Amino acid sequence: MSLLVRYTLKSADDHDHQVKAMDALVAGLKSEGVNGVNYSCFTTGDPTEFVGVLEFGDDAGKNAFLQSAAFDKYKSTVGPTFANPPQTTEISAIASTRG
């Protein structure tokens, strides 16, 4: 299972804060040893828009991510800066150069 997540911030002034929060989320997931999830986040040409791709090996990986301290901290840190809740779409891989 994979999710495409779109984030929109209230203000471009929050761009750098969001980038730092994403870096902290990834570092936190690694330090907690959260397995079964791969997370990638991307900026767009609009400083208020971000796109994330969450790839879960199985439901246990998804649950480990959702229950992680790193994700809780991320939500509390940047939640107030979102223009609206992140929009998620379930996606399925059909081809990849990833090993």
Pick 2-91's CATH classification: 3.40.50.1970, 3.10.20.30, 3.40.50.300, 3.30.70.100.
3.30.70.100
Check whether 82 has a pLDDT greater than 70. Answer: yes
Q: What confidence tens digit (pLDDT) does each residue in 6-60 have?
A: 999 999 999 999 999 999 999 999 999 999 999 999 999 999 999 999 999 999 9
Q: What is the pLDDT of residue 99?
A: 66
Average pLDDT over residues 71-86: 95
Cα distances (Å, whole numbers) of residue 80 to 8, 16, 22, 69: 11, 15, 15, 18
- The C-alpha atoms of residue 65 and residue 51 are separated, in whole angstroms, by 17
Average pLDDT over residues 55-73: 94
Q: What is the pLDDT of residue 80?
A: 94
- The C-alpha atoms of residue 45 and residue 4 are separated, in whole angstroms, by 18
